Amino acid sequence: MSPPAAAAAVEHGERRARSRTPARPLTAPRRPRRVSGPARRGQTARPLLPGRQHAAAEAASAQGLLRALRSISDRPLLDRLIRGRAWIAIVAFALIGIVTLQLALLELNAGIGRALEHQQLLQRENAALSIEDSELAAGERVESQASRLGMELVPQGALRFLPAHPGSDIARAAAALNAPAASAEASGANGSATTAATPGNTTASAGASGEASSAGAASSTGAASSAVEAAGAATPAAGGGAQSTGEAAATAPARSEAHGAEAAQAPAATTTPASPAPATPAGAGAPAGAEAAPAGGTRAGPTG
């Protein structure tokens, strides 16, 4: 007959105690039991270490979060939402959206790749064009092209700069305005090379009204030839002045006030060719923002 379970357990426990731990004296002092309540006076509570404080705070916040989640899951509203059939549509829409987005992204990347290739191509073409542009603007080349078209460099000393008389020049220029000749009008209408039409490439001449000038050829090119451009471009606007084509240009009065100075006169022999001509060598490279005309007179333009 086996002993009752409780008795057996007690007996087994006693046996273990006897076999493992030596006997302790019964008079051993017991540790004082912790008493809850405020700390007694004279005793200071040991503060928690900063690390432990932090851990305790984290544990508290995690527990709070868990409680909050639990409370959300218990809400009937959420239950109704999850069980609704609309979710099927939402999830399906989201899945399709994700796939579509991915496809669009792939397409976009492929487009970027193509754009990069195109950019490189354009960069290359741009560089090539810059090089070509610089080569074409070389003075030697322009000079040879111009000489083939019958142009020649203005001899040294041929340039003359006339003194300006702001008080009287405008009135004299206005008085010298003539009605445009019929032939000049016709040629202007036909689109012949007027200085206004081709200010950058034209060798023009302008007659300053009554102001005798010994200037030789006043070959003007580009923006540097301010006085001559003034003659060509400003004349028609100055009240139906002559179109500055060919011979007409030789008699066209300059709007000297356009540059506050008189325009240079040049013989008709050096007037504009009927067709637009390339720039003279020096003028081809004339700086667009070339130095402004000096106060004492205007410049007939660099001609090389």
Residue ranges that bind other proteins, judged by CB under 8 A: 106, 109-110, 112-113, 116, 120, 123-124, 127-128, 130-135, 137-140, 154, 156-157, 159-161, 224, 282, 284-288, 290-291, 293-294, 296-297, 299, 301-304
Residue found under tokens 């020096």? 282
| Closer by beta carbon to other proteins, 129 or else 237 | 129
What's the closest the beta carbon of residue 119 comes to other proteins, in angstroms?
10
Identity of the residue, 193 or 286, whose beta carbon is nearer to other proteins in the bound complex? 286
Structure tokens at 113: 């790749």
User: What radius of gyration do the chain's Cα atoms show?
Assistant: 51
Handedness of CA 199, 200, 205, 206 (dihedral sign): positive
Nearer of residues 74 and 133 to other proteins, judged by Cβ: 133
In angstroms, give the least distance from the CB of 172 to other proteins.
21
Strand partners, 304: none
Q: CB-based contacts of 16: which residues, under 8 Å, 6+ apart?
A: none
CB of 15 to other proteins, least distance (A): 54
What residue type is 114 in one-letter code? R
Closest distance of CB 210 from other proteins, Å: 21
Q: In 3-state terms, what secondary structure has residue 297?
A: strand
For other proteins, the closer of residues 162 and 242 by Cβ is 162
C-alpha distance from residue 118 to each of 41, 114, 124, 130, 144 (Å): 85, 6, 10, 18, 38
Q: Which residue, 253 or 304, has its beta carbon nearer to other proteins?
A: 304
Residue 175: CB atoms within 10 Å? 10
Dihedral (Cα; 91, 96, 102, 103), 10-degree rounding: 180
Closest approach of Cβ 123 to other proteins, in Å?
6
